[in-house]
Amino acid sequence: MPSEPATPSRVIEHRLHPLSIGFSLGSQLRRAIFPLIVGGASANFLGVVEMRSVLLIGLIPFVVGSVVRYLTFRYRYEEAELVIRSGLLFRRERHVPYARIQNLDAVQGVFHRMLGVVEVKLQTGGGQEPEATLTVLPLPALEALRQRVREGKREAVKEGIAEDGTAAEEAATAIRAESPTAMPAEPPVDPTLAGTAEGRTLLHLPARELLLHGLLQNRGMVLIAAAFGLAWELGLFERASDWIAGEQSWIGPAVEGAASDVVAAGILVTVVAITALVVAFVIFARMLSVAWTLVRLHDYRVVRSEEGLRATFGMLTQVAATIPLRRVQTVTIHEGPLQRWAGRVAVGVQTAGGSQAGQSGNADPHRHRLAPILRRDRLREFLREVIPELDVPEVGWEPVSPLAFRRVVRGTCFLATLASVPLYFTLGAWGVAFHAAFLAWAVFYARRYVECLGWALKDEMVWFRSGWLWRRTTIARYTRIQVVALRTTPIDRWRGMARLLVDTAGAGAAAHKVDIPYLPLDTARELRTHLAAEAARTAFRW
Amino acid sequence: MNESTHNLETADPGDPTASGDTAADAIADGVRHGLDPRSIPLQRVVGRIVTACVSLPLAVGVAVVWAAAVPPPGVVAAIVSGWSVITGVLGWWLHRWAALHHRYASYTVNAEDIEIRSGVVWRKAICVPRSRVQHTDVSQGPLERRYGLGTLGVYTAGTDYAKVSLDGLEHETALRIRDHLLPPAGADAV
């Protein structure tokens, strides 16, 4: 059990909370339950063994694994690093320097809260996976860990100044900028997860905004698809069909009767009825989306504190995610058509902490949407909090090559033609009309798409925007540029164009990057030389 | 300071700044260099090995089918000529590819960055600023050792280009570029 966190307890090794066994078993089971059920069901079907025994035998390794993990897991605080030991056969000892910790996320589900424990994830610059997941810690231990990390970082900065004044100065100011209200003598301790005791609230989403967010983004369909999959796996459909179409059921005949009445009433009524059903389904999906958003992002709050930005949210599962400000690599502004109509945007940040799309962590989905919904007129203010150097009222966008439209339109017209080939076979002469409509759309879309491509250099940052309906704008500071690459395809060389990619740390595979296509070759070369020189001029810090 | 342990291990810890400068100036000439011409025969040997790895299993497969069911002579001729066409085209193409690859690959070491160009059809020029190099390594496989060549690996904190490698360098040159790319001591403070 963790002792008092204030004293430097170098030799005391802490263990996880004993409930860890249950929680780690639970999270493993959640991942393994479907394969087990499918395997069990098929074994059952084949008549080899009973499903129940398959499930029981399948569970044994997970139970043993969880117990062993709990028994072997130890962590201790060294002066400058956190040391984590684990493993029975393959022992592993990880040293995580406090100064290298990128994010410290805390997740509390319903059960966690009932039992007074919390799951903690530490991320450093390396790799996609969290460096360490502490499942689960008692609440006071989380606070002790947070304080260690805070103090460790301050120590590291101090040492840096002592050794090399000029190089560390920037880092020190970055730390200072992060903590305008911090008292260096006595770091504030917040006993709750929410962390509202300190710092300034940058963003708070009231229920009205969350409602709007739920309406604008289409979460409902995803949920319906997931529910459908689940029902399929569990064989609920067969039971439901028995229930609806069974002999004693009144639902089946009633539906059938209503349907035949509608069809008998004529084509107009049928069309109206089908439209009504579709509309009802869409409304249902959106309502589901709203409900999901209200629960998941309940009381969404971004606070700027000593540690950086801290996002807290959730009704059932409460998440507290911390993002140190100077670890922000790129910022992306997302705008969909509905959001634009409502005057809202979303802002995502990428950190080098390896929290990428596709990773299934509880704290993850909102790491890259720091502000899930934000009024357009508040965007500038919010961005300036995330990137202090940013001071731009409006960016003057540079276009891509004037020949780009010709290239894009060829591609879209080809696709339009390909899509209308089957229509010629099925609709005959009507296929021509569809083909013409598709082509018109292809030309229009290509025009808009190329118009929306743009780049800019401003305030020591490179900006890139792309997409017409779903527009994304990414901002990368020169200090965060890692590699500048110029790429050409044979068509690029024929047309005198090139593609410029600016690589940064922590850019996930699905993330929007500064990857500018269709640049005139000369412009691309100039830009490459300029950006590389600017990057070389400055030092990169994690 | 922990970040630089990689570099410090490979560099001479005694006088990392003083020794670097004179050697660095010589290698950082800002001129675009081609790869070592010995990389062509090396790549050709690799190409022959690849060809053998593809065509031998094919030959074994043909022999097994032959033994199992004796086919008519026309089919035999077709199979054998098919096999020799595949082997011949692959061998010829890889032989040519070595020269093509050599023609379009180059590197430029500047005072503050290194640019590596490669690719024949899809070409790329990757520019890594010296200040963004996390660590470097020079590796030498058994074939490379025979030809006196080495591969330079430059590691950054980036995502798509976390590792940029350059093969077909003279081993000595690779070592000198590596030394040039090592950041000066005390450069990173966090």
User: Which of B132, B136, B164 is the best residue to mutate to test the A interface, defined by the most A CB atoms within 10 Å of its own CB?
Assistant: B132
Q: Are residues B69 and B90 in the same domain?
A: yes
Residue A537 near chain B (CB below 8 Å): yes
* pLDDT level of residue B190 (50, 70, 90 thresholds): very low
Nearest CA to A356 among A364, A345, A347, A344?
Answer: A364
Residue B16 has pLDDT above 80, yes or no: no
Residue B190 lies in a domain: no
- CA separation (Å) from A475 to A69, A208, A331, A333? 42, 29, 5, 9
Residue A140 lies in a domain: no
Residue A20 lies in a domain: no
Residue A311 lies in a domain: no
Instruction: Write the pLDDT tens digit of every residue in B73-127.
Output: 888 888 889 999 999 999 999 999 999 999 999 999 998 899 999 999 999 999 9
Q: Are residues A223 and A291 in the same domain?
A: yes
The shortest C-alpha distance from A310 to chain B (Å) reads: 22
The shortest C-alpha distance from B182 to chain A (Å) reads: 13
Q: Given B101, B120, B152, which residue is the final one in a domain?
A: B101
pLDDT score for B9: 34
Residue A530 with chain B: CB contacts under 8 Å: none
Residue A45 has pLDDT above 80, yes or no: no
Instruction: Write the pLDDT tens digit of every residue in B127-170.
Output: 999 988 888 889 999 999 999 999 999 998 888 898 999 999 99
Residue A408 lies in a domain: yes
The shortest C-alpha distance from A91 to chain B (Å) reads: 23
- CA separation (Å) from B135 to A131, A207, B4, B8, B104? 21, 49, 8, 10, 26
Q: Are residues B68 and B162 in the same domain?
A: no
Quick check: B189 and A164 CB within 8 A? yes
Q: Are residues A245 and A384 in the same domain?
A: no
Q: Are residues B129 and B91 in the same domain?
A: no
SS3 A39: helix
The tally of domains found in chain A comes to 3
Residue A496 near chain B (CB below 8 Å): no
Residue A126 lies in a domain: no
Tell me which of A166-175, A296-305, A439-448 is least confident.
A166-175
Which is it for the CA torsion A259, A265, A270, A276, positive or negative? negative
Residue A128 near chain B (CB below 8 Å): no
Quick check: B188 and A167 CB within 8 A? yes
Quick check: B131 and A167 CB within 8 A? no
pLDDT score for B185: 56
Q: Are residues A532 and A438 in the same domain?
A: no
Q: Are residues A478 and A512 in the same domain?
A: yes
What average pLDDT does the segment A402-410 reach?
93
Q: Are residues A461 and A446 in the same domain?
A: no
Q: Are residues A469 and A352 in the same domain?
A: yes
Residue A2 vs residue A538, higher pLDDT: A538
Q: Are residues A338 and A485 in the same domain?
A: yes
Residue B2 near chain A (CB below 8 Å): yes
SS3 A254: helix
C-alpha to C-alpha distance for A105 and A145, rounded to whole angstroms: 11
Quick check: B164 and A508 CB within 8 A? no
Compare CB distances from A483 to B112, B161, B188 and report the shortest one's residue.
B161
Residue B100 near chain A (CB below 8 Å): no
Residue B49 lies in a domain: yes
Q: Given B68, B83, B101, which residue is the final one in a domain?
A: B101
pLDDT score for A400: 93
Q: What domain range includes position B17? A: 2-34+107-181
Q: Are residues A505 and A393 in the same domain?
A: yes
The tally of domains found in chain B comes to 2
Q: Are residues A417 and A529 in the same domain?
A: no
Question: What is the percent of chain A where pLDDT is above 70?
Answer: 79
What average pLDDT does the segment A499-513 reach?
85
C-alpha to C-alpha distance for B74 and B130, rounded to whole angstroms: 63
Highest-confidence range of A61-75, A252-266, A406-420, B8-22, by mean pLDDT?
A406-420
C-alpha to C-alpha distance for A501 and A516, rounded to whole angstroms: 6
pLDDT score for B168: 92
A-facing residues of B in 30-59 (CB < 8 A) are: none
pLDDT score for A312: 87
Residue B189 lies in a domain: no
Q: Are residues B30 and B111 in the same domain?
A: yes
Q: Are residues A410 and A424 in the same domain?
A: yes
Tell me which of A94-108, A427-441, A450-464 is least confident.
A94-108
Quick check: B187 and A539 CB within 8 A? yes
Residue B132 near chain A (CB below 8 Å): yes
The 3 state secondary structure assigned to chain B is: CHHHHHHHHHCCCCCHHHHHHHHHHHHCCCCEEECCCCHHHHHHHHHHHHHHHHHHHHHHHHHHHHHHCCCCHHHHHHHHHHHHHHHHHHHHHHHHHHHHHHHHCEEEECCCEEEEEECCCCEEEEEEEHHHEEEEEEECCHHHHHHCEEEEEEEECCCCCCEEEEEEEEHHHHHHHHHHHCCCCCCCCC
Residue B59 lies in a domain: yes
pLDDT score for B28: 81
What is the pLDDT of chain A when averaged over all its residues?
Answer: 79
What average pLDDT does the segment A182-187 reach?
34
- Determine which helix (DSSP H) or strand (DSSP E) holds A420, and give its type and residue range: helix A404-427
